[in-house]
A and B are shown apart, each in its own frame.
Chain A
């Protein structure tokens, strides 16, 4: 158990819908990262927040957005969902300093029908 929690574990929805994935980092960690893992693209970095502010952006679509709240939990919002958005979405957390290890949560499996 990494100490990172994610909810829900599974999510099934229809195309065009909007969903919110939630992540609570390990106690004391200030940084939260979101990753998408699909069968054809492997693990892809989406976005990072540090202490409430966006720090780095990866291959995140404009239909996706994220935020980190004062209590340091984070939410990833996915809208206008497409079939290709079906994937495992991981959240990871770290202390936020350089070369700090990222610990992964159990993931949310999103299925878009």
Chain B
């Protein structure tokens, strides 16, 4: 059975801190790994990673994939209160199905 594990499950930081969210996976027929942000509504797409070692960056967010060790990290620098959300990691396998992790609840306090 495909499995995606995220850590930590919950994180509380102060504005300006840098955070690292982790995602490890055990799946068959890996196609891609995706990160989503969910703020009490629909998940919104952040990144898609398909190749090892290539960092994807968008503003203060960045992510990288290690296909040998089967994990990915999502970094957020200079956090803001608006970054407070659940961050979901999902792995796409054959048939384009996504298997999601439990998510990391990030709270950024002013």
Question: In the complex, are the beta carbons of A33 and B98 less than 8 A apart?
Answer: yes
Question: In the complex, are the beta carbons of B88 and A43 less than 8 A apart?
Answer: yes
- Interface centre among A43, A106, A107, by most chain B C-beta atoms within 10 angstroms, is A43
Question: In the complex, are the beta carbons of B41 and A48 less than 8 A apart?
Answer: no
Which residues of A have CB within 8 Å of B106? Answer: none
Q: Describe A's contact surface by its main secondary structure.
A: strand
Question: In the complex, are the beta carbons of B97 and A58 less than 8 A apart?
Answer: yes
A-B contact count (CB 8 A): 60
Selected interface stretch from A12-20, A67-75, A77-85, A91-99: A91-99
Could you say which of A2, A43, A58 contacts B44, with CB atoms under 8 Å apart? Answer: A2
Question: In the complex, are the beta carbons of B45 and A42 less than 8 A apart?
Answer: no
Enumerate chain A interface residues (CB-CB to B < 8 A): 2, 31, 33, 35, 42-45, 48, 55-56, 58, 90, 94, 96, 98-107
Q: Mind listing 9 A-B residue pairs with CB under 8 Å?
A: A33-B98, A42-B103, A55-B95, A90-B43, A99-B31, A99-B92, A102-B98, A103-B45, A104-B43
